[in-house]
């Protein structure tokens, strides 16, 4: 009886955590050019739920990238105002290497204007983030703990 009560309470609790139904929502347009796998399967489920529409029309994709061009001055002025220290710029450049075939676009839209603004800025590196070494050490320690849990 005790197990049945616990299972019933757990079922009621978890039923309250179920996602709400989506009604009258304009689906988000998503362009996906990757391989079939877990990401594609998740997108297919989102399409069935009505929250995502997969886009294959090149005109819509080109319009998205044209919309990115006006962002370039934002990144430039952010860096010109001293928003980046050298470690942050290096980390953003390292992150851009993970974007695959879109890396030239990311470099043109984000990395190049940020580096140019930082180079011209009299405030560049005047206020570096001092927590970075401690954060990297913590991230390394957490990664090592995760590896221990997975392997052993």
Check pLDDT > 70 for residue 15: no
Distance CA 130, CA 34 (A): 38
Check pLDDT > 80 for residue 40: no
pLDDT, position 47 = 76
HEC-encoded secondary structure of 78-147: HHHCCCCCHHHHHHHHHHHHHHHHHHHHHHHHHHHHHHHHHHHCCCCCCCCCCCHHHHHHHHHHHHHHHH
Question: Does 8 fall in a domain?
Answer: no
Question: Binning pLDDT at 50, 70 and 90, where does residue 117 land?
Answer: very high
Q: Looking at the structure, tell me whether residues 112 and 40 fall in a common domain.
A: no
Q: Looking at the structure, tell me whether residues 99 and 75 fall in a common domain.
A: yes
Q: Looking at the structure, tell me whether residues 73 and 36 fall in a common domain.
A: no
Better pLDDT: 137 or 57: 137
| pLDDT tens digit sequence for 41-71 | 777 777 777 777 777 777 877 877 787 778 7
Distance CA 32, CA 55 (A): 8
Question: Does 126 fall in a domain?
Answer: yes
Q: Looking at the structure, tell me whether residues 85 and 136 fall in a common domain.
A: yes
Question: Binning pLDDT at 50, 70 and 90, where does residue 150 land?
Answer: confident
Question: Does 6 fall in a domain?
Answer: no
Would you give the DSSP letter of residue 20? Answer: P
pLDDT, position 46 = 74
Question: Does 151 fall in a domain?
Answer: yes
Token code pair at residue 10: 């757990």
Q: Looking at the structure, tell me whether residues 49 and 123 fall in a common domain.
A: no
Question: Does 138 fall in a domain?
Answer: yes
Region 121-131: mean pLDDT is: 90
Token code pair at residue 144: 């090592």
Distances (CA, A) of 61 to 30, 66, 90: 9, 9, 29
Q: What predicted TM-score, i.e. pTM, was given to this entire model? A: 0.55
Region 115-131: mean pLDDT is: 91
pLDDT, position 146 = 80
Question: Does 20 fall in a domain?
Answer: no
| Residue range of the domain that includes 92 | 69-152
What is the sign of the dihedral through the CA atoms of 132, 121, 94 and 74? positive
């Amino acid at each position: 009886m005790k197990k049945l009560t616990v299972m019933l309470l757990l079922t009621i609790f978890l039923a309250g955590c179920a996602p709400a139904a989506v009604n009258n929502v304009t689906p988000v347009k998503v362009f996906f050019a990757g391989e079939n796998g877990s990401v594609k399967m998740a997108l297919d489920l989102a399409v069935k739920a009505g929250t995502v529409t997969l886009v294959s029309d090149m005109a819509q994709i080109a319009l998205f990238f044209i919309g990115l061009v006006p962002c370039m001055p934002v990144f430039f002025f952010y860096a010109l105002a001293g928003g980046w220290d050298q470690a942050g710029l290096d980390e953003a450049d390292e992150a851009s290497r993970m974007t695959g075939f879109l890396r030239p676009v990311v470099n043109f839209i984000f990395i190049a204007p940020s580096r140019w603004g930082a180079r011209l800025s009299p405030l560049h590196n005047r206020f570096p983030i001092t927590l970075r070494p401690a954060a990297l050490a913590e991230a390394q320690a957490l990664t090592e703990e995760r590896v221990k849990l997975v392997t052993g």
